[in-house]
Structure formats: structure tokens, C-alpha cells
Amino acid sequence: MSQLEFAHVTKKYGDLEALSAFTLSVQKGELISIVGPSGCGKTTALRVAAGFEKFDAGRLIVNGQNVELVPPQKRNMGMVFQSYSLFPHLTVAENIGFGLTIRKMEKKKRASVVSDMLDLVQLVDVGHRFPHQLSGGQQQRVALARALAIEPTVLLLDEPLNALDAKVRIEVRDEIRSLQKRTGTTTLFVTHDQEEALTISDRVCVMSKGVIQQVGTPREVYDNPGTAFVATFIGETNSVVIGGKEVLVRPEHTRVVNDAEPDSYRGSVQSVSFAGPLKTVVVRMSVDESLVRATMTNTGGVDWTIGQEIGVIFDRLVPLK
């Protein structure tokens, strides 16, 4: 069952269409990431869902109800932004309980929900602290707990990991996914980071310039990208012109072999980088002078030398429609 549905939603800012006939249906309990380059309309989609932006055409359905005229505070959306946006003068527990106070939840019940939430995000010991007394990762977990405390119809996350450093970013990312699954919360997650989108999502919605390019499971958009844009935005690709036609191929499907092997294209080694279990060889292709990357399992033995003439085999081309 669809919990959040955008049906041909168009949002304009002057002449610019930030969303063009945006059509996406998020199923109950599903996590969909919207991913795309800066300015493609990701945040606009989220703001439209939250009710912060009006739109020019189309319909927005939440839980079977057309919510176009429903104000943000009546939509029961949980929101987490990239800047933690906690109330500095409220304690962690008060921040988490804020939405419940607004909803006039009785004090005892509220204390019990806040306690459950503190437990859920593993912050039981810091409920009395103020936001400035927490690390970035802890602050974002409080923001998440505050959003989940109201049992939102949909959880809207706008680049929630951006302000965190690399290690904490992965920890909080995994925690968001685990909490989302455990609570069965329908979630729309905005990110510009394709790896994050692939890792965290049930399905990924790839956007460019206000238009949805493809919606599919992480594996579908990676293995069978609908367009060259999706292929190059999601994961890495090599582009080679063979017989006058451009083909795209993933580095892991590109293999360097001794030049004597049949069915290989000729090239010369530009660089070899060794990263333990994997090594990446950059080759200049004779056919069109392009550079391609081959990522191969390191099985020991001798590496190729710079300038060496070798062969390149493409095991699988990216299928494009």
C-alpha cells in the first residue's frame, strides 16, 4: 500500500521547473532515497511532501488522502535536516518530547515515549544534557528520536549525515536504516551521495534537473541503469568509443590481460595502484585514446609496468536502453 504518493507533481520557481511531473509512490514501511546532483530538486520534493512548498500541478496523496491543502503541522511528518536543528535551550529529553507536548500528550505517557526513544537511539545516559554537550552524531540521533517519537506517517530525511565525519557518518547511516526497519517507518531520504543511497535504500529514485531518471532497487539502478546519466551518476563507468559507438563499462568488468590474448582491445598502462585486496590499473585505449580504469582482485604476482602494451577485455557492457 502506498503511504506517500507524488502524482505528476510540478513545482516551478519562476521559469525553472524544480520538479517536472514528479511521480513517485513510497510503499508503507519502505525507505526510498532520492539521489541526484546539486540543484536537481531533491530538497524541493521533500519540502513539497512536508507541506513547506506549494506546487503548481499534480497531486500529493498521504495515506490515501489528498493533502495539498493540509498545513505542515497537520501532516504528521517527521523531519530530520542536515543541521541538527535541535532546540538549544531544551534538554535532550525535552527535545525528543517536543512534538508530543505540542500534541498535548499526557505527561506520564510522554515521559514513557521519551524514555523508549532514548533507549532506541542508545542515549539513555544523556537525556538531561543540552544539545551543545553532545557530539554531532549524538545530536543527529536526538533529531532522529524526536522525529520518530510522534510516530510519523512518513519520515523525511534531508541529507541527515552531511555534517558528520566519515566514520560517524557510516555509524549513523546504519543506525537510521536499522531504526527505520525496526519501527517500520515509511521514509524518504534525500542525499547527493550515490553510495549512501545504494547502501541504505529499498529503492532509489535518481533525479536530474527536476526529472526522475529511474526508480529501482539499488541493484537494478546499478546493474541495469535506464540511461547513461544513471550509469555515470550511480557508480563508476568507463566510456570508450568502439566502432564509432560509445559504450559504457564498469571498472570491475574491465580486465587487463597480456596483449597476446584474442578478443582484447589494445592499450598501454598509465598507472597501477595497489589497495590490498584490489588493484586498479588505468589504461590508455589505442582505439580512441580514452582512459579506462580496471579494478581487479589482487591475486599476487607481478604488476604491469607503466607504458607496457597490454590488452583490455570488457566482460560486461552497461546495458543502456
Residues that bind ligand ATP (CB under 6 A): 13, 16, 18, 36, 38-44, 192
The distance of closest approach from Cβ of residue 40 to ligand ATP in the complex, given in angstroms and rounded to an integer, is 4
The distance of closest approach from Cβ of residue 238 to ligand ATP in the complex, given in angstroms and rounded to an integer, is 26
CA angle 247, 249, 250 (to 5 degrees): 160
The distance of closest approach from Cβ of residue 77 to ligand ATP in the complex, given in angstroms and rounded to an integer, is 17
State the Cα–Cα distance between residues 270 and 282, nearest whole angstrom: 5
Strand (E) positions, 63-151? Answer: 65-66, 77-80
> Which residue, 41 or 218, has its beta carbon nearer to ligand ATP?
41
> Which residue, 10 or 268, has its beta carbon nearer to ligand ATP?
10
> Which residue, 51 or 99, has its beta carbon nearer to ligand ATP?
51
Angle between helices 166-183 and 136-149 (to 10 degrees): 20
The distance of closest approach from Cβ of residue 207 to ligand ATP in the complex, given in angstroms and rounded to an integer, is 7
Q: What is the DSSP letter of 9?
A: E
> Which residue, 36 or 311, has its beta carbon nearer to ligand ATP?
36
The distance of closest approach from Cβ of residue 211 to ligand ATP in the complex, given in angstroms and rounded to an integer, is 12
DSSP assignment string, 223-288? HS-SSHHHHHHSS--EEEEETTEEEEE-GGGEEEEETTSTT-EEEEEEEEEEETTEEEEEEEETTT
The distance of closest approach from Cβ of residue 189 to ligand ATP in the complex, given in angstroms and rounded to an integer, is 12
CB contact at 8 A, 210 and 40: yes
Amino acid found at 69: L
State the Cα–Cα distance between residues 128 and 116, nearest whole angstrom: 15
Sign of CA dihedral 239, 245, 249, 251: negative
**Phi, psi (rounded to 5 degrees) for 191:** -150, 155
> Which residue, 18 or 281, has its beta carbon nearer to ligand ATP?
18
- 225 is written with which cell numbers? 541503469
> Which residue, 155 or 190, has its beta carbon nearer to ligand ATP?
190
> Which residue, 18 or 67, has its beta carbon nearer to ligand ATP?
18
> Which residue, 149 or 205, has its beta carbon nearer to ligand ATP?
205
The distance of closest approach from Cβ of residue 87 to ligand ATP in the complex, given in angstroms and rounded to an integer, is 24
Helix (H) or strand (E) holding 19: strand 16-27
3-state class of 48 per DSSP?
helix
The distance of closest approach from Cβ of residue 50 to ligand ATP in the complex, given in angstroms and rounded to an integer, is 12
